[in-house]
Amino acid sequence: MTSLTNALQQLRGEQAKAQAQLEKLNEAILAIESLNGSVSSRRTGSQRNVTAEARRKMSLAQRARRARERKGAGTANTGTARKPKPLSIAARRRIAAAQRARWAKFRAQQKAA
């Protein structure tokens, strides 16, 4: 058991050395990139911290963008949602007469059955 514990301690020591060396390499890469003027493609460290106020501002900005999209895209993007043409009085009367005839026929069939 003691040999396993010693081996584990030795591996942890080597891991710590390797992590330190990796950090030094990352710092060197960042220093060279800053001299070169290029931006690092990888982010180092933890996630970006955003305050509650900043999240609120981003949320309001997104809502405004969506509202503009909805406002501008009312009829431009959808071909099916168009305003129907108004019917003339004569056309409405013909439709109503046809509907009354259909209902009269239906009632007659119901009475016969």
CA atoms of 3 and 6, how far apart (whole Å): 5
pLDDT in the model for residue 20: 93
- Are the C-beta atoms of 40 and 47 separated by less than 8 Å? no
pLDDT in the model for residue 24: 92
pLDDT in the model for residue 77: 54
Give the pair of three-digit tokens for residue 82. 């168009």
pLDDT in the model for residue 30: 87
Residue-wise pLDDT tens for the chain (113 aa)? 788 889 989 999 999 999 999 999 999 888 888 887 765 556 666 678 889 999 999 999 999 999 999 988 655 555 567 788 899 999 999 999 999 999 999 999 999 87
